[in-house]
Structure 1
Amino acid sequence: MRFFFPRSSRLRRGWEFDSVFRTGDRLRGELVRLLFLKAEDGVTRIGLAVGKRQGKSHDRNRGRRILKEGFRRILPWIRPGVWIVAGLSGTGMKAGSTDVYEELARLLKGGGFLEPEWPGANWENPSEGAKEK
């Protein structure tokens, strides 16, 4: 199975982010912060927010790439009809991509956003070319 993070699955406009920040609920882990809002259009869309206070531009870009990769791997199993904005905490900016992905998956599962068919937080997904153990 190939995983994508298409434009149609992203929050892009300022008012969309604003809506989630103002009226959304929050889930917080050690590395990842999630804000979520039930979508009026029934489509799941994801936004990534990394603030300027979280380091230099190359650190923020790395944080965005890590979050994007985590959502790319888990997006097919997120239930439809929710807008999610994700950000990294200060410790999340220094963490590895597998740690961030595992916490992202744990928070989404705990919040009830993942489908029951979700295979689990296995970074080494055999369907992407990794060898089975």
Structure 2
Amino acid sequence: MRSRGKRMLRESLRRLRPWVKDGFWIVCTIKTPALGKNAREVYLDMARVFQRAGLLGPEWPGPDWYIDRGRSQG
């Protein structure tokens, strides 16, 4: 399960990284209840946290799981 959690965090961060403001070091951990979620849910949670913390630039298009697949679906 730990490997699955690491993969979900890595994928979520990969999708958000282009919009994270420069000058920040980010350390992510995943708690046991999150291991029951799917990768998209982890991404949406991470996006909300990053947005509230002011880590995402103004050009961030919003939490779109499909943003890097060329097919925006919200």
Q: Give the TM-score normalised by structure 1.
A: 0.52
Return the structure number with greater helix share.
Answer: 2
Larger RCO, structures 1/2 (Cα 8 Å, 6+ apart): 2
- Structure 1 distance, partners of 2:43, 2:62, is 11
1:112 deviates by 0.4
Structure 2 residue runs of 5 or longer lacking an equivalent are none
Question: Which residue pairs with 1:97 in the alignment?
Answer: 39
Structure 2 counterparts to residues 16-35 of structure 1, below 5 A: none
Which of 64, 74, 77 is residue 19 of structure 2 equivalent to? Answer: 77
Q: Give the TM-score normalised by structure 2.
A: 0.90
RMSD (CA atoms): 1.7
Bigger CA radius of gyration: 1
Structure 1 residue runs of 5 or longer lacking an equivalent are 1-58
Report the identity percentage: 36
Which of structure 1's runs of 4+ aligned residues deviate more than 2 A? Answer: 129-133
